[in-house]
């Protein structure tokens, strides 16, 4: 993994590169409007059709997790208002990782809410330097920089109005990929909610000079994630936990709890781990003389 100092030098060297282009058709398909709704307890969905954003309500204000693309921010703001909440009541912004489909809208959301932004320390360099240093699409302007007001480490907590989220370093997709857990009560029953950071594998796991510890980090993160309680199963992409299917079931049966899905969470983590182990084995075989 490159040091922060090395990354900072690389960022300065690349500052003349052009900004990122408009959304590709694939990205645009993940950014379609989605009606906001309550998931469970004090957790609400305010994101797009696939790139997710979650609003957590407390007696002292709101917590917002993930900002989608830059183009998602207006949708998120509209969804918050549609639920009857006020933007200025968002007190804390959080992030899963510093890629443009999750961090792209954070700068606007911070400007418009005045909220404090808290993020894992390993993600600070790209977040504060237009997405540069993410070993993703090159070192170029991917989104507007956002100042990190509080740097987090593994196991740190974020609390507001009696609600506490715990940050879990689940590196692999990025060095600071952060999964979040929190207790939630639904219909009088206590549950553990888990917001899983993205587990998509890079094209090259082994011998990647931009992220030499990727395989080691993924292996550790699967150990961490599979040991965490996961009853309300959520993630950074709706396709990972069947967001649209569960939303449809919730609309058809308002009394149901489709997002309480420990079996789905377990299956998702097991399949993701198998995919990782398969790719790692293939790369190890290909590297043999």
Distance CA 94, CA 76 (A): 14
Domains and CATH numbers, the chain: 32-287 (3.60.15.10)
pLDDT more than 70, % of the chain: 92
pLDDT for the residue numbered 49: 98
Give which of 159, 265, 163 is closest to 222, Cα–Cα. Answer: 265
Contact criterion met (CB below 8 Å) for 79 and 111 = no
- 230 or 21: which leads in pLDDT: 230
Calculate the alpha carbon distances from 218 to 173, 195, 215, 273, 280 in Å. 8, 17, 5, 9, 10
Cut 0.85: pTM above it: yes
Integer angstrom CA distances of residue 75 from 5, 12, 81, 102, 104? 36, 32, 10, 13, 13
Residue 19 has pLDDT above 50, yes or no: no
Read off the pLDDT of residues 124-141 as tens digits, 9 standing for 90 and up.
999 999 999 777 666 789
């Amino acid at each position: 993994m490159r040091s922060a100092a090395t990354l900072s030098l690389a960022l300065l060297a690349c500052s003349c590169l052009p900004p990122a282009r408009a959304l590709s058709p694939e990205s645009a398909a993940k950014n379609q409007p989605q009606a906001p709704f309550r998931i469970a307890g004090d957790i609400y969905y305010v994101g797009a059709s696939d790139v997710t954003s979650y609003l957590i309500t407390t007696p002292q204000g709101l917590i917002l997790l993930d900002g989608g693309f830059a183009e998602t921010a207006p949708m998120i703001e509209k969804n918050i208002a549609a639920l009857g909440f006020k933007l200025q009541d968002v007190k804390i912004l959080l992030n899963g990782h510093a890629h443009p489909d999750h961090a792209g809208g954070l700068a606007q959301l911070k400007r418009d809410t005045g909220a404090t932004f808290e993020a894992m320390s390993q993600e600070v360099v790209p977040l504060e330097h237009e997405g540069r240093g993410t070993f993703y699409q090159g070192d170029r302007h991917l989104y507007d920089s956002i100042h990190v007001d509080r740097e987090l480490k593994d196991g740190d907590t974020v609390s507001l109005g009696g609600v506490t989220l715990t940050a879990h370093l689940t590196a692999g997709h990025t060095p600071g990929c952060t999964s979040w857990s929190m207790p939630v009560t639904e219909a009088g029953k206590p549950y553990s909610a888990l917001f899983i950071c993205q587990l998509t594998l890079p094209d090259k796991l082994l011998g990647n000079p931009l992220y030499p510890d990727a395989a080691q980090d993924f292996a550790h993160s699967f150990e961490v994630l599979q040991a965490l309680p996961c009853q309300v199963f959520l993630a950074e992409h709706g396709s990972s936990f069947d967001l649209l299917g569960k939303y449809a079931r919730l609309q058809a049966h308002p009394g149901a709890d489709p997002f309480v899905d420990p079996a789905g969470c377990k299956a998702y983590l097991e399949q993701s781990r198998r995919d990782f182990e398969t790719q790692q084995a293939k790369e190890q075989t290909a590297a043999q003389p």
